[in-house]
Chains A and B, each alone.
Chain A
Amino acid sequence: MSDTYDRRNHGRAASPDEYGGRRPAPPLRAPLPLKERPASRLPAPSDWTFELIEQYHDVIRATAERFGLDTYPNQLEIITAEQMMDAYASVGMPVNYRHWSYGKEFIATEKNYRRGQMGLAYEIVINSNPCISYLMEENTMAMQALVIAHAAYGHNSFFKGNYLFRMWTDASSIIDYLVYAKNYVAGCEERYGIDAVELLLDSCHALMNYGVDRYRRPSKLSLTQELARAKDREAYAQQQVNELWRTLPRKPGRDETEREAPRFPAEPQENLLYFIEKNAPLLEPWQREIVRIVRKVAQYFYPQRQTQVMNEGWATFWHHHLLNTMYDDGFLEDGIMIECLKSHTNVVYQPPVGHPAYSGMNPYALGFAMYTDIKRICEAPTDEDRAWFPDMAGSSWLETLDHAMRNFKDESFIGQYLSPRVMRAFRLFAITDDDTEPTLEVSAIHDESGYRNLREAMSRQYDLGSREPNIQVWSVNTRGDRSLMLRHTQHNNRPLHDGAYEVLKHVARLWGFPVHLESIDGQGGVGRRWTVDPSTA
């Protein structure tokens, strides 16, 4: 469970400086009273100016501070639409190493934008310290206010508070690391040729999703700790000695079988890129470093992939709440507020299934609805809520919300907090697609008997572990042809798609020796097998 995360296993010592200088902040608190109502509302022209943005920012910051939102320092940057497209293309980062796939992304984005098929996002926010928010030049004043509240306070506080981000990302160093990565890759291109670097990056990108640590490794013990532990163990073992057992006859021949060919790796490894970086026999040092760079970047984005609903929902909830509070306090003009609400409404629109615009759940809509509902449950619980959420009903909504933001990821957040009311509001239903059945089955809908199943299914849908095939390093043939064996463990009998062979070619290129992939079905039998020899890859 995520909220029982054990800090003792943390890589760094738990000091006030843990998580790269991020002190644990006090939780959100009941809002402080407004100091004084403003004499007049903020000016509300449709065009923004730097002074206006600063005025609005001051009010938004003051309002956020009243709720105790804990954020990194903010850095607001005004950019143009072209720059926004640039940022899109390099996965939202201000700097990144060069790769053709980013070029492809850029070309596609630019084309869609020019044809008017796609609007650009109003903002991009970077999980860094200081937290950089991009405001687009084209936005109106109302939009800039919305974006500041959304990105600079919503996302920013999420980055700083959520446990995944705290555990996996170091906001203060990411920009520097990317600059280093960019220069390093550029240097390699000069020394070893663009093609060699490109091939390597292609291969690494193919495995990027398998280049993340999902769990912290325990930190290395110091020698004295190790010795102390050994002593303890010895003492404990001594206490447990039972002389009686000594008389049991030794099983014959057991020693020999144990000694035979130790497995390598001793246990299956799920971080393929890490395994390759450390163990691929033929990689040059610079190649290992590039594998490492890709791995680090993947790790940096890993929390974001797991907290879409929570992160967007949190930011949406807070821009909505902050702006409404500001309006109630008499800061905002009606016109500004209406424009903000209109954008907000667009953002949280959830088209129903079958609608032309439908492409799955809208994370903004779901997240916003869930946080809003948590607040409602705390403030005005119904009998149903009391039955479902006895702890929350009637508690302080800010503290509950704060807890929900800090200690969950999408999967557990939905599993914990998706309320029947939200399920009814979205009219959720679950469909089971079993290839052994001729038809699909509606397995649960938003009714009394379906809530729990629905919530469980929804939670699984956001579980990266089940969305992505489970592929691990199984073994290396250390005494033979040095081939690498990967193993796919099927979940619900879902097979790999045919792209697997292409990915395997990339693995073979990195590994340098033959690579096998086995697909293990639910009964433990080997399903499909793929083999790639590096000479053909």
Chain B
Amino acid sequence: MQQIIDRRLAGKNKSIGNRERFLRRHKEQIREAVRRAVEGRGIRDIAQGEDIHIPKRDISEPVFGHGQGGKREMVHPGNKDFVQGDRIERPQGGGGGRGSSSGQASDSGEGEDDFVFHLTKEEFMQVFFDDLALPNLIRTTLAETPEYKTHRAGFSSDGTPNNLHVVRSMRGAIGRRIALGSESRRELHRLEALLEDLRAQPGTPARLHEIEQIEADIAALRARIDRIPYLDPIDLRYRSRVRTPVPTAKAVMFCLMDVSGSMDEARKDLAKRFFILLYLFLTRHYEKIEIVFIRHHTQAQEVNEHDFFHATETGGTVVSSALVLMEDIIQARYPRGEWNIYGAQASDGDNWHDDSPRCREILEQKILPLVRYFAYIQVVEQEQNLWHEYSDLAADTPNFAIRKAAEVDQIYPVFRDLFRKEGAAK
């Protein structure tokens, strides 16, 4: 009798490896499409899938085939009114759809439609963050993790008394006592039965002597059995608890932006994209992310997202005000042991002349020791004193990076550059 096999639970996605290879092969087109998508999207709908178009000729697998021309004969069904010898106009447009051997039809002429497929959200992000990794992430999750969680991991033979597992220990003790005493007990039972027998018979001196002998043996056996300890140190079992490091799952991201008069809409848009990317990147690594928006001109203030991007202020620029506020907020709300802190600052580089050295000082002494990473992006080409101060600092500080991006399409490469896998970059 044959059995019907139920394969339904055997797992689908057998083709996942093939799909990966397909994506891998068309990485460049996909990257390009993703880059374009990122440029065109708003902050809210960045994390979505995307339709990828790949020109058909790029994915075709060439095989030898016949081209147009020559003489061929085709048989078709459904003759309506033809008779032998009729002549028909050659259909225009390649006649690709007519042939029964469809293999060559798609390759010849028309049919140059794109191959379109949907990149899932996960795959989209995968491409997006492709060879990036969170800076210092390995250190965060493995070496420096401040948080531990203990959980049970079976039983062990040593431990503290408060972890003693009584039932387990007693079970072990019983087993040990049975194992150690069984031989003696069997012997005891045998001798007792023998003794019974001898006593039942009339007592001759020899027999009495024998009885005595047996009684002595029995006493010795009893003593041996009694000597087996009720509870031995080797019986003891303790609950085992192990401490495993728990990576901190919380991150806070500070967005610092200059909203002084010199930052126009286009520059703000540039800054916004930079923040989006950082935000998305963090969402991949942390369960919970808070964002703090700090905008500044001569004074800094914490605002909500809408105000951050849309309200305009005028006036001069004192960058250090934002840094001071950031530090205050960290001290007040985000203790370092619990939060992974990231900072991202966007500015046009315009600053009150005397303020730039102060910015550097605050960063170097107060903020950088607290944060995992701090990135500064300048949205204009021109280098001013803030840039000079920062670039001095960035040169010998691993968790501080600065870049310039003057055009929308430079944001993405800049971002990739900033967060390139450690070690891969330099």
A residues adjacent to B (C-beta < 8 A): 50, 53-54, 57, 73-80, 82-83, 85-86, 89-90, 98-108, 111, 130, 134, 137, 194, 198, 202, 205-206, 208-210, 350-355, 358-361, 426-436, 438-447, 449-450, 454, 457-458, 460-461, 467-469, 471, 488, 490-500, 502-503, 506
Central interface residue in B70, B80, B85, by most chain A CB within 10 Å = B70
Instruction: Pick out which of these stretches binds chain A: B10-18, B142-150, B248-256, B379-387.
Output: B10-18
A438–B115 touching, CB < 8 Å? no
Query: How many whole Å from B119's CB to the nearest CB in chain A?
Result: 10
A361–B100 touching, CB < 8 Å? yes
Tier of interface size on chain B: 35 or more
Q: Mark B89-130, 1 if CB is under 8 A from A, else 0.
A: 110000001111110100110000001111000000000000
**Cα of A467 to Cα of B7 in the assembled complex, Å:** 38
Please provide the chain B residues from 50 to 83 with a CB less than 8 Å away from any CB of chain A in the complex. Answer: 59-80, 82-83
Query: How many whole Å from A237's CB to the nearest CB in chain B?
Result: 44
Query: How many whole Å from B122's CB to the nearest CB in chain A?
Result: 15
**Which single residue of chain A is at the shortest CB-CB distance from B10?**
A83
B19–A103 touching, CB < 8 Å? yes
A497–B25 touching, CB < 8 Å? no
New A-B pairs, 9, CB < 8 Å, besides A353-B79, A446-B79, A494-B71: A53-B4, A83-B12, A104-B22, A432-B72, A440-B89, A442-B85, A445-B82, A457-B75, A503-B63
A104–B69 touching, CB < 8 Å? no
B84–A90 touching, CB < 8 Å? no
**Cα of A105 to Cα of B10 in the assembled complex, Å:** 21
Any A CB within 8 A of the CB of B388:
no
**Cα of A200 to Cα of B70 in the assembled complex, Å:** 33
B4–A54 touching, CB < 8 Å? yes
Any A CB within 8 A of the CB of B23:
yes
* A73 partner residues in chain B, CB cutoff 8 A: 2
* B45 partner residues in chain A, CB cutoff 8 A: none
Sample (26) of A-B pairs whose CB atoms are under 8 Å apart: A50-B4, A57-B2, A74-B2, A76-B2, A99-B18, A100-B24, A104-B115, A194-B24, A206-B62, A206-B63, A350-B78, A353-B79, A354-B78, A358-B78, A429-B76, A430-B76, A432-B72, A433-B71, A435-B70, A439-B87, A445-B82, A447-B84, A460-B73, A467-B101, A502-B62, A503-B64
A433–B90 touching, CB < 8 Å? yes
Query: How many whole Å from A339's CB to the nearest CB in chain B?
Result: 21
* A441 partner residues in chain B, CB cutoff 8 A: 85-88
Any A CB within 8 A of the CB of B366:
no
* B73 partner residues in chain A, CB cutoff 8 A: 430-433, 443, 457, 460-461
Please provide the chain B residues from 14 to 61 with a CB less than 8 Å away from any CB of chain A in the complex. Answer: 14-15, 17-25, 59-61
Any A CB within 8 A of the CB of B5:
yes
* B23 partner residues in chain A, CB cutoff 8 A: 103
* B83 partner residues in chain A, CB cutoff 8 A: 442, 445, 447
Query: How many whole Å from A40's CB to the nearest CB in chain B?
Result: 22
A471–B76 touching, CB < 8 Å? no
Known contacts A100-B21, A427-B77, A502-B62; decide if A89 and B89 are in contact (CB<8 Å): no
Any A CB within 8 A of the CB of B6:
yes
Known contacts A79-B8, A428-B75, A442-B84; decide if A499 and B22 are in contact (CB<8 Å): no
Q: Mark B181-203, 1 if CB is under 8 A from A, else 0.
A: 00000000000000000000000
B65–A102 touching, CB < 8 Å? no
* A57 partner residues in chain B, CB cutoff 8 A: 2, 4
A202–B61 touching, CB < 8 Å? yes
A75–B84 touching, CB < 8 Å? no
* A445 partner residues in chain B, CB cutoff 8 A: 79, 82-84
B residues adjacent to A (C-beta < 8 A): 2, 4-8, 10, 12-15, 17-25, 59-80, 82-90, 97-102, 104, 107-108, 115-118
A353–B78 touching, CB < 8 Å? yes
A89–B15 touching, CB < 8 Å? yes
* B2 partner residues in chain A, CB cutoff 8 A: 57, 73-76, 130
B75–A450 touching, CB < 8 Å? no
**Which single residue of chain A is at the shortest CB-CB distance from B105?**
A359
A454 interface neighbour in B75, B86, B87, B100, Cβ under 8 Å? B75
Query: How many whole Å from A502's CB to the nearest CB in chain B?
Result: 4
* A496 partner residues in chain B, CB cutoff 8 A: 64-67
**Cα of A136 to Cα of B17 in the assembled complex, Å:** 23
A427–B104 touching, CB < 8 Å? no
**Cα of A57 to Cα of B4 in the assembled complex, Å:** 10
**Cα of A85 to Cα of B77 in the assembled complex, Å:** 31
A471–B75 touching, CB < 8 Å? no
**Which single residue of chain A is at the shortest CB-CB distance from B72?**
A433
B18–A106 touching, CB < 8 Å? yes
**Cα of A100 to Cα of B102 in the assembled complex, Å:** 22
**Which single residue of chain B is at the shortest CB-CB distance from A450?**
B84
**Which single residue of chain A is at the shortest CB-CB distance from B85?**
A442
* A438 partner residues in chain B, CB cutoff 8 A: 90
* A103 partner residues in chain B, CB cutoff 8 A: 15, 17-23
B75–A494 touching, CB < 8 Å? no
B77–A352 touching, CB < 8 Å? yes
Query: How many whole Å from B191's CB to the nearest CB in chain A?
Result: 64
Query: How many whole Å from B108's CB to the nearest CB in chain A?
Result: 6
Query: How many whole Å from A348's CB to the nearest CB in chain B?
Result: 12
A108–B115 touching, CB < 8 Å? yes
B77–A428 touching, CB < 8 Å? yes
A106–B69 touching, CB < 8 Å? no
**Cα of A350 to Cα of B79 in the assembled complex, Å:** 12
**Cα of A521 to Cα of B61 in the assembled complex, Å:** 26
B77–A492 touching, CB < 8 Å? no
* A435 partner residues in chain B, CB cutoff 8 A: 68-71
A493–B70 touching, CB < 8 Å? yes
**Which single residue of chain A is at the shortest CB-CB distance from B116?**
A111
* B13 partner residues in chain A, CB cutoff 8 A: 82, 86
**Which single residue of chain A is at the shortest CB-CB distance from B52?**
A107
Central interface residue in A205, A460, A494, by most chain B CB within 10 Å = A494
Query: How many whole Å from B375's CB to the nearest CB in chain A?
Result: 33
By Cβ-Cβ distance, the 5 closest A-B pairs, closest first, are A352-B78, A360-B100, A103-B22, A494-B70, A497-B67
**Cα of A221 to Cα of B87 in the assembled complex, Å:** 57
B74–A431 touching, CB < 8 Å? yes
**Cα of A502 to Cα of B57 in the assembled complex, Å:** 11
Query: How many whole Å from A94's CB to the nearest CB in chain B?
Result: 8
B12–A86 touching, CB < 8 Å? yes
A83–B4 touching, CB < 8 Å? no
